[in-house]
Chains A and B, each alone.
Chain A
Amino acid sequence: MAEPLYAADREDFREIVRLVRPGARVLDVGCGNGELLQLLRDEKQIDGRGIEIGAEGVSACLARGLAVIQGDADRDLAEYPPASFDYAILSQTLQAVRAPKEVLSNLLRLAERAIVSFPNFGHWRVRMSLLATGRMPDTRSLPIPWYETPNIHLCTLRDFTELCAELNLRIEASSAVSPTHPARAINCQSPLENWRSESALFLLSRKSAALSAPVRPGDLFA
């Protein structure tokens, strides 16, 4: 959906690859040119599907041998039957959807787990940018002017964890991702991390759901 925000998307991808169980059924929402799905297929032998808004992206995915549908997160997730996937991935896209709460609920309806990453609006650069200039933040993770940005629903780490609680979601793991540092596991409830994390990545499941393969936190973020 949204343009990749910065080069550390690759770091984001590596984190996701670590999280996904080999051989899993994966839906990548906003899969772009299919880079992540291909990585997951090559390294984790997943059975992958994608949703991508742009025809060129879908063509690029088809050329990689991926099964991808042109569509968008707001409109097309409701069409999938419940529990069709082991993982639904929404990478750097949540902030660009029209109804993030519905999208998040849908992800955890159609998949057992969701992997969601987004730029953290609570990051110190964002806060300082607004404080110092009095204008919408212009940072390395949010470089597009307010009148052109596809990011219409930006949130902070704290906002997101509160939404997860409201939706009765279990946060199985969380990490901070940045273009310059390796990903690191974080305590997402910590106010300090809300300052420090440039971008955040979450592994989520429904609290009400019985999980087929519980996650051992030590496995996740090496």
Chain B
Amino acid sequence: MTVLSSPRQDQTDGVLRLREPLRLDSGQVLREVDIAYCTYGRLNADRSNAVLICHALTGDQYVASTNPVTGRPGWWPVMVGPGRTFDTDRYFIISTNVLGGCMGSTGPSSINPDTGQPYGLSFPVITIADMVRAQAMLVSQLGVETLFCVAGGSMGGMQALEWARSHAARMFTCVLLATAPRHSAQNIAFHEVGRQAIMADPDWRGGDYVGQGVRPEKGLAVARMAAHITYLSEPALQRKFGRELQRDGLSWGFDADFQVESYLRHQGAAFVDRFDANSYLYITRALDYFDLAQSAGGRLADALAAAAPVRFCVLSFSSDWLYPTSESRVIVRALNAAGARASFVEIDSDKGHDAFLLDEPVMRDALNGFLDAAGAARGL
């Protein structure tokens, strides 16, 4: 275990070894599991102000501090920090890198303790529930029994939902942004395109690229390019790029003539510098396997029955076609049927799925109101 303190005393950045082996949904058992995490703010005396923020597919634990790999600010600075919605002066914020990730948590590029070699494709297929199991153990090891809030957008929202299904007694509120209770056929289809792009790259080497000293960068970049389109809306893409060209005139070839091509290529190229191809395969698989109602015979309200005492805030974005408002409504309907205190707003935005990462005043106001009221009820 290493805990590195950053210059500010109320920020930590470290890796914890889970005390026990992790029993996975697949039936396999992972031992010597490490979970990388960051914390911001201070845990109060009665340990009631902890907030877990769960990241999306390609996010990480650096929610509000500089990512050491990219050198860029955290992925949610508009929402997390002193005086922000997730106020680090008020809450003790915990964020983890998911199981299967590539920013310090155990994943396919980690060393298998049984062989001394990188796992590669011998890493077991994991689920969102497995990620949450590991998080729940980490949260306990940090000395936190009950979380004031579990919050997440996109895949982070799915983790928060899974928390509500399996650990409702350990949470007071749940914030679900731009998310869904299951992956749709279209969601799975887009992920399959990404995975096939990676596996078609000769440098993927059947998943053993780490051992062979290469990286399937082209395949991973194409996967990112395809996925990135799903994070944006058509109007936003049109407004940002239209048919604008990179240079004067067409090249009459296959260079990036259009600005949108150049933009996507840049997104792909920047992504391969910070992400592992096998992690991408495993995490997208976990998303595709996600169907929260499955554990309750397909009845989402039954799956969420234990969450009746939890306060939920569900937000969707009008131009999100990856996890559209209709999916949030399915969640809200189930929460109503389960008797939970659910609030829901569809936020009018043309910025697509990624709107939840941006500074959206209506989202901020809604969450501020929700968290303030819940905080008052919790005595924070």
Residues on A facing B (Cβ under 8 Å) = 49, 55-56, 58-71, 79-81, 84
Contacts and interface: CB of A to CB of B under 8 A. Distances in A.
Contact of A58 (B336, B339, B343): B343
Contacts of B365: 59, 62-63
Contact of A62 (B336, B337, B339, B373): B373
Contacts of A81: 336-337
B362 interface: yes
Interface string B14-47: 0000000000000000000000000000000000
B69 interface: no
Contacts of B377: 65
B344 interface: yes
6 contacts: A59-B362, A59-B366, A62-B365, A62-B370, A65-B374, A67-B341
B284 to A, nearest CB: 31
B148 to A, nearest CB: 15
Nearest to B365: A59
A102 B233 CA distance: 36
Given A64-B373, A65-B373, A59 B345 contact: yes
B373 to A, nearest CB: 3
Contact of A80 (B336, B345, B346, B366): B336
B326 to A, nearest CB: 12
B333 interface: yes
A64 B341 CA distance: 14
B376 to A, nearest CB: 7
B85 to A, nearest CB: 12
B373 A58 contact: no
Nearest to A78: B333
A84 B342 CA distance: 14
Contacts of B161: none
B361 to A, nearest CB: 9
Contacts of B370: 62
Interface in B335-365: 336-337, 339, 341-348, 362, 365
B26 to A, nearest CB: 35
Nearest to A67: B341
Contact of A67 (B342, B347, B372, B376): B342
Interface size grouping (class) on chain B: 20 to 34
A47 B337 CA distance: 16
Contacts of A64: 369, 373
Given A55-B362, A79-B333, A81-B336, A63 B345 contact: no
A172 B376 CA distance: 38
Contact of A79 (B336, B347, B369, B373): B336
A58 B366 contact: yes
A49 B346 CA distance: 17
Contacts of B342: 67, 69
A67 B308 CA distance: 13
A60 to B, nearest CB: 8
A128 B172 CA distance: 57
A65 B369 contact: yes
A68 to B, nearest CB: 5
A65 B376 contact: yes
A60 B368 CA distance: 11
A62 B362 CA distance: 11
Contacts of B303: none
A48 to B, nearest CB: 10
A108 B376 CA distance: 33
A83 B345 CA distance: 24
B329 to A, nearest CB: 8
Given A62-B343, A69-B332, 15 more contacts: A49-B341, A55-B346, A56-B362, A58-B343, A58-B366, A61-B369, A63-B365, A63-B368, A63-B369, A64-B369, A66-B373, A69-B336, A69-B342, A79-B333, A84-B336
Nearest to B316: A70
Chain A CB count within 10 A is highest, among B336, B368, B372, B373, for: B336
Interface string B166-193: 0000000000000000000000000000
B344 A69 contact: yes
B311 interface: yes
A59 B336 contact: no
B313 interface: yes
Contact of A70 (B337, B344, B368, B373): B344
A67 B313 CA distance: 8
A80 B334 CA distance: 9
A40 to B, nearest CB: 15
Contact of B343 (A56, A68, A79, A80): A68
Nearest to B311: A67
A49 B311 CA distance: 12
A26 to B, nearest CB: 13
